[in-house]
């Protein structure tokens, strides 16, 4: 019941120009794999580990500070220096 009401509110907000939708584009077959796909299984990472690392990459980090050996392995694979 709540999800139906939320959907209706979204539709109303969209009609009023609060949201803009656009068609999804198909990713190219040679696009890089997401961090979770590349390193999740190899290092047994959790979502917050990947989010933490993705935020560092987004902000142009050249080093990564962690005591977690799995995160450190992922960062080294991406070419970042490890600070411990």
| Phi-psi group of 17: left, alpha or beta (phi > 0 → left; psi -120 to 50 → alpha; rest → beta) | left
Residue 72 has pLDDT above 80, yes or no: yes
| Mean pLDDT computed over 11-24 | 80
What is residue 13's predicted lDDT score, i.e. its pLDDT? 87
Alpha-carbon gap, residue 70 to 45, rounded angstroms: 7
Place of tokens 């080294």: 76
Q: Enter the pTM of the model.
A: 0.57
The three-point CA angle 19-25-27 to 5° equals 135
Over the stretch 23-59, which tens digit does the pLDDT of each residue have?
766 655 555 678 888 898 999 988 888 888 888 988 9
What is residue 31's predicted lDDT score, i.e. its pLDDT? 59
Torsion of CA 63, 43, 49, 78, to 10 degrees: 30
Structural domain boundaries of the chain? 33-84
What is residue 27's predicted lDDT score, i.e. its pLDDT? 58
């Amino acid at each position: 019941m709540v999800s139906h009401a939320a959907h209706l509110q979204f539709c109303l907000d969209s009609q009023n120009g609060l949201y803009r939708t656009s068609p999804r584009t198909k990713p190219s077959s040679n696009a890089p794999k997401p961090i979770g796909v590349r390193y999740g299984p190899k290092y047994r990472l959790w979502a917050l580990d990947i989010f933490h690392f993705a935020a560092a990459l987004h902000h142009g980090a050249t080093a990564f500070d962690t005591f977690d050996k799995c995160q450190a392995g992922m960062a080294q694979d991406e070419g970042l220096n490890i600070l411990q």
